[in-house]
Amino acid sequence: MSGQTAGCGMIRPALLLALLATPALAEPPAAFMDYARAPAVRVIDGDTIDIDGERIRLTSEDGPIDAPEMHRAKCPLELFRAQAARERLIAIMAPNDFTIERRGKDRYGRTVGVIYSEGKDVGAELVREGHARPWPKLRKADRPAWCGGAE
């Protein structure tokens, strides 16, 4: 009997060691893998995002849009509107999966694209909510400004 006990005594630590080592050799959980591959998304302002270093200028199915500028606000009202537009874009995109329909590049080298979240055109939604507006095909001097009047 003592021989059997000694044998079992050696098997138990070896079995325990094997069981403890198994999770370390296993693949990481799928949730971790998805997180590790998730793109880094940063909202710059109400009409510009950055995804893994690619700067994307939002447009809509109806055409270009314009949101107030965060870094070049011409008055406190434009800065307030820019912050509100940025916060709204963050809220729209944060909890959802989104897709981008790339439509080329703008004159600054940014990708121009329509972003869809839950099947909705994000640019058009920002326009409907007053956080952006359709980009008019007017001379700069004739475009309406976010501070009121013309730019």
Q: Give the pLDDT confidence of 13-31 residue by residue, as tens digits.
A: 655 555 555 555 555 554 4
| Contacts with 68 (C-beta within 8 Å, 6 or more apart), sequence order | 45, 46, 78, 79, 81, 82, 85, 146
Domain made up of 39-142: CATH architecture: Beta Barrel (2.40)
Intervals of the chain under pLDDT 50:
5, 30-35, 138
CA 146, CA 139: separation in Å to the nearest integer?
Answer: 16
Per 3-state DSSP, the chain is made up of helix, strand and coil in percentages (nearest 5) of: 40, 25, 35
Q: Are strands 120-121 and 63-66 parallel, antiparallel or unpaired?
A: unpaired
Question: For residue 36, what pLDDT is reported?
Answer: 52
pLDDT, residue 90, reads 93
The pLDDT of residue 45 is 93
Output the pTM of the full model. 0.69
What are the residue ranges spanned by the domains of the chain? 2-32, 39-142
Contact (CB, 8 A) for 140 and 74? no
What's the pLDDT score for residue 33? 44
